[in-house]
């Protein structure tokens, strides 16, 4: 997992409430277990028409928003099913930070596990940040300081200390397990000597 520290980008603004995971990545693209290649299908039904042609009016099809690393979204983002493909698709597209006034819990947790920073801010701040998207101006996110800087303004956000550490150090669940490899190896060695019948070698 890539480390997350700071991020500067022109944000893309998608002011739709209750965007569920099926809208983020529809069910027909869930057959793969690979984390790559899903970005082209992100928000598929909003980005493409019935013939598979890009819809020009959709924000992520417009320049410079097609290169945005920050998505500003409506409340209750990521509701619906718990599919982990949703953060995979966002990440593969290039989005590593999502700002909203609220997130679905499972999606919120899945973001941290896949290197995406979900930031919760109140609606008034969301409105202010949306103006930077409309003017195509960059905003700056600093995870270590837990703040978003826009123009001459800055706003603080809160993040769980453990999840913050994982993002800063690029630690997903596998990496966290590997960090305890020596303890796991020692435990298995002791178990093998105490209960050898468990092991078939």
Lowest-pLDDT range of 5-14, 18-27, 61-70, 172-181: 172-181
CB atoms within 10 A of CB 110: 22
pLDDT at 140 (0 to 100): 98
CB 171 within 8 A of CB 178: no
pLDDT-based confidence at 180, cuts 50/70/90?
low
User: Which CATH number covers residue 138?
Assistant: 3.20.19.10
Mean pLDDT of the chain: 92
pLDDT in tens, 133-179: 999 999 999 999 999 999 999 999 999 999 999 999 999 766 556 56
Selection from 39, 40, 64, 60 nearest residue 52 by Cα: 40
Do 92 and 177 have their domain in common? no
Q: How many domains does the chain have?
A: 2
Structural domain containing residue 57: 6-170
The residue with greater pLDDT, 81 or 71, is 71
Torsion from C-alpha of 25, 28, 32, 35, nearest 10 degrees = -10
Do 101 and 187 have their domain in common? no
In a domain, residue 1? The reply is no
Task: Give the containing element (helix H, strand E) for 183.
Answer: helix 181-194
pLDDT-based confidence at 18, cuts 50/70/90?
very high
Do 111 and 151 have their domain in common? yes
In a domain, residue 143? The reply is yes
pLDDT-based confidence at 192, cuts 50/70/90?
confident
Do 150 and 194 have their domain in common? no
């Amino acid at each position: 997992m890539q480390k997350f520290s700071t991020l500067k980008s022109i944000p893309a603004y998608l002011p739709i409430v209750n965007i569920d995971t099926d809208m983020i990545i529809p069910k027909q693209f869930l057959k793969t277990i690979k984390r790559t290649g899903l970005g082209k299908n992100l928000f598929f039904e909003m980005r493409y028409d019935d013939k598979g042609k890009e819809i020009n009016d959709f924000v992520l099809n417009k320049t410079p928003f097609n290169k945005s690393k920050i998505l500003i979204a409506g409340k209750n983002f990521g509701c619906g099913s718990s599919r982990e493909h949703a953060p995979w698709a966002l990440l593969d597209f290039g989005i590593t930070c999502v700002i909203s006034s609220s997130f679905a819990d499972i999606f919120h947790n899945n973001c941290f596990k896949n290197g995406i920073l979900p930031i919760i801010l109140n609606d008034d701040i969301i409105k202010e940040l949306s103006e930077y998207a409309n003017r195509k101006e960059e905003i700056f996110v600093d995870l270590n300081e837990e703040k978003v800087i826009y123009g001459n303004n800055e706003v603080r956000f809160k993040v769980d200390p453990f999840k913050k550490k994982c993002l800063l150090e690029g630690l997903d669940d596998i990496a966290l397990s590997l960090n305890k490899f020596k303890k796991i190896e020692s435990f298995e060695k002791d178990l093998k000597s105490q209960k050898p019948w468990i092991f078939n070698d």
